[in-house]
Chains A and B, each alone.
Chain A
Amino acid sequence: MSAPVTRAPVILAGTFSPFLDRFRRLLVVAAIFVIWELAVRLGHVNTLLFPAFSSVLESLATGLGVGGKPVLWSYIWQTLSVILQSFAISILLAVVLTSLALVSKLAKDFLFVVTGMFQPLPSIALLPMAILWFGFSRESLVFVVVMSMVWPVASSLTVGFATVSRTLVSLGRNYELGAVGTLVQIMLPAALPMLISGLRVGWGFGWRTVVAAELVFGATGSSGGIGWYINNSRLFMNVADGFAGILLVILIGLAMESIFLFIQRKTTLRWGTEAG
């Protein structure tokens, strides 16, 4: 790559590093898949237990509708709809709780204690109780996912609110914004960098929790999510399908990450309010 330039390698690395980094990382990914494929094909691995990468890819493509019945989409939608609903509820809850904490000492203490209590608890541990309370229903799933998301979002937002510039708060007072006006027009946009990073962490927790809950839980009503799909593949010994499901979980996680990055580019990075 850098053959003609030998005198200033440091500068070159600096100039082209985003491109080179991306290229190297793609190479690593490709290498993993190649080694996987070769190991399975040449290493006398039982493909019933550990399928080759190519069969996983084929399963994934078929499941998504390329040369087969597009069965995967309904599983994807099931999982996504649960997590998106939970995400919306979590954001609303976090905004309400942290806003109350801005105006009331009691609410602040409540938020502090409750966040401290539930942050370290893997919310999947609440699933048995949720099943007791809500039955094998969508509500149970939403409940545990919300419990995994709302606390990291709330604690980031608390920090975000605390670090809003005093001058901007004064500006809001000067232009006679009320409590809601200040929240919507000053506090939330100013806290957006922290909010986004909280949402990112919250999404990460929620995504893990929803897949885990589906694994334990199975289907709600007639439809199940990706976790359910993965577990079913084990039951019917379609291990390639199971791997395809896992790959899908990873891919959706990555896609979500780029959506967050996109939102940041359009907002906080553009405004220069992103710290660091």
Chain B
Amino acid sequence: MNARFSHTMGHIAHGRMAGLEEISEDASLRSDTVVDIEDVSIDYTLGPGKRRVIRAVDNVSVSIRRGEKLIILGPSGCGKSTLLMALGGFLPISGGVMKVNGSPVSRPSMERIMVFQDFNQLLPWMTVLDNVQWGIRKRHPKMSQAEVASLAGKQIELVGLARQADQYPNTLSGGQKQRCAIARSFAATPEILLMDEPFGALDAINRERMQQELNNIWSEQESPTTIAFVTHDVAEAVLLGHRVMVMTSGPGRVRAIVENNAVGRPADDPEVMMLCAHLRDLLKEEIT
């Protein structure tokens, strides 16, 4: 049992139920981790002279295994997006260690591709196909055009945009734009995909559909893509995440890391319902 998670154990102990297991980081798992986050804190500075320091993320430790979908679940303002942005290299960390494949994160990199919530993450002057190809060319400058085209075509097909491949983003719906962004990100074959509430701005029907499809897209990849996915939606977390890291707010700390053996199962599956209830409990306790 890793000492880092001991503060979460008290809760987990009485919350043990089918489908839930606390995380033990034994040596075999450690060897196949993509991301190592150890005691990471992130501070914001505010106000005149930037003298006010606000701690957004406090002493967070977690490892992300190769090929898993790790969900970072927490209420608004718990620092989950901040943590993801830091992992993306967009924000500096104030303390601790953050490593991807053993090397510290210092700047944004194509090893770690972000999918934003903002629909405007597509290049508006490029068609769906060109957006996806643009990403591939950046990542693999030496790839032949034929390969680029076939890889792009495959990903576009997977996200269900084959008919829209020649359309400009302004003619797409919000859901289609996110599909395109997802296709571009998968096509760039990053070490880890960082998704910051990518479906947060979609309507409920589209959101549910996209969640299901993300699971499909993920499982259709040649090798499983490692994903860190930020959300405040419990059902989304249980549908998508092999593990769910629950964060508390003010400042953001790890509340618990929960295994999920019910990925992709329908919402009325007993295990899913139990896990959802458990996660809601964890979040509720945090509010009081």
* Docked-complex contact A176 and B138, CB < 8 angstroms: yes
Q: Which residues of B contact A190 (CB under 8 A)?
A: 124
A199 CA / B32 CA spacing, docked (Å): 55
CB distance from A82 to the nearest CB of B (A): 32
B90 near A271 with CB under 8 A, answer: no
Asked whether, in the complex, the Cβ of B168 is within 8 Å of the Cβ of A270, the reply is yes
Query: How many residues of chain A are within 8 Å of chain B by beta carbon?
Result: 20
Closest residue of A by beta carbon distance from B194: A174
Tell whether A267 is near chain B: CB-to-CB under 8 Å: yes
Is residue A272 within 8 Å, beta carbon to beta carbon, of the partner chain? yes
**B-binding segment of A108-116, A162-170, A215-223, A230-238:** A162-170
**Which residue of the partner chain A has the closest CB to B107?**
A173
Contact B116 A170 (CB under 8 A): yes
- Contact A271 B108, beta carbon cutoff 8 Å: no
Chain B residues positioned under 8 Å from A175 (CB to CB):
110, 135, 138-139, 188
Known contacts A189-B125, A271-B168, A271-B170: does B108 contact A173 (CB below 8 Å)? Answer: yes
Within 8 A of A (CB), among B88-112: 88, 90, 107-110, 112
Select one of B88, B110, B121, B139 contacting A168, CB under 8 A: B121
- A window 171-211: CB within 8 A of B: 171, 173-177, 185-186, 189-190, 192
A272's contact among B114, B118, B121, B170, by CB below 8 Å, is which?
A: B170
Quick one: closest A residue to B111, CB to CB? A176
Min CB gap B102→A, angstroms: 19
> How does the 8 Å CB contact mask read for B110-139 relative to A, with 1 for contact and 0 for none?
101110101011011100000000010011
A168 adjacent to B123 (CB under 8 Å)? yes
- Whether A170 contacts B120 by the Cβ 8 Å rule is no
| Docked complex Cα distance between A186 and B121 (Å) | 11
**Are B108 and A174 interface neighbours, CB within 8 A?**
yes
Q: Select A174's contact among B114, B123, B124, B170, beta carbons within 8 Å.
A: B114
Q: Is the CB of B121 within 8 A of A167?
A: yes
Contact (A168, B168) CB under 8 Å given A174-B113, A176-B109: no
Contacting A165 at CB < 8 Å: which of B110, B118, B138?
B118
Contact A273 B170 (CB under 8 A): yes
Interface size on B, residues (CB 8 A): 24
Interface-central residue, A171, A185, A192, by most chain B CB under 10 Å: A171
Q: Would you call A273 and B138 a contact (CB within 8 A)?
A: no
Q: Could you tell me if B124 and A271 are in contact, using CB atoms closer than 8 angstroms?
A: yes
> A-B pairs with CB below 8 Å: how many?
58
In Å, the complex CA distance between A267 and B135 comes to: 21
Q: Mark B178-197, 1 if CB is under 8 A from A, else 0.
A: 00000000001000000000
* Chain B nearest Cβ from A22, distance in angstroms: 27
> Which residues of the other chain, B, contact A185 by a CB distance below 8 angstroms?
123
Which residues from chain A contact B138 at a C-beta distance below 8 Å?
Answer: 175-177
* A237–B138 CA distance with the chains assembled, in angstroms: 65
The answer to whether residues A176 and B118 also contact, given A271-B125, A272-B170, A273-B125 and a CB cut-off of 8 A, is: no
Q: How far is the CB of B148 from chain A (nearest CB, A)?
A: 14
When distances are taken between beta carbons in the complex, the residues of chain A under 8 Å from B116 are 167, 170-171
Residues of A250-276 at the interface with B, using a CB-CB cut-off of 8 Å, are 267, 270-273
- Within the assembled complex, what's the spacing in Å between the Cα atoms of A270 and B120? 16
Enumerate chain B residues within 8 angstroms of A192, measured Cβ to Cβ: 125
Q: Are A174 and B88 in contact (CB under 8 A)?
A: yes
Q: Please measure, in the bound complex, the distance between the C-alpha atom of A167 and the C-alpha atom of B108, giving whole angstroms.
A: 13
Contacts of B107 in A (CB 8 A): 173
Complex Cα gap A190–B169 (Å): 13
Query: A267, B125: Cβ atoms under 8 Å?
Result: yes
- Taking CB atoms, residues of chain A closer than 8 Å to B88 are 174
Known A175-B135, A272-B170; judge A167-B118 contact (CB<8 A).
yes
- Residues from chain A with a CB closer than 8 A to the CB of B112 are 174
Are B90 and A170 closer than 8 Å at their CB atoms?
A: yes
How long is the Cα–Cα vector from A267 to B118 in the complex, in angstroms? 22
Q: Which residues of B contact A168 (CB under 8 A)?
A: 120-121, 123
Contacts of B121 in A (CB 8 A): 167-168, 171
Q: Which residues of B contact A (CB under 8 A)?
A: 88, 90, 107-110, 112-114, 116, 118, 120-121, 123-125, 135, 138-139, 168-171, 188
25 of the cross-chain contacts (CB-CB < 8 Å) are A167-B116, A167-B121, A168-B120, A168-B121, A170-B108, A170-B116, A171-B116, A174-B108, A174-B110, A174-B113, A175-B110, A175-B135, A175-B138, A175-B139, A176-B108, A176-B109, A176-B138, A189-B125, A270-B168, A271-B125, A271-B168, A272-B169, A272-B170, A272-B171, A273-B124
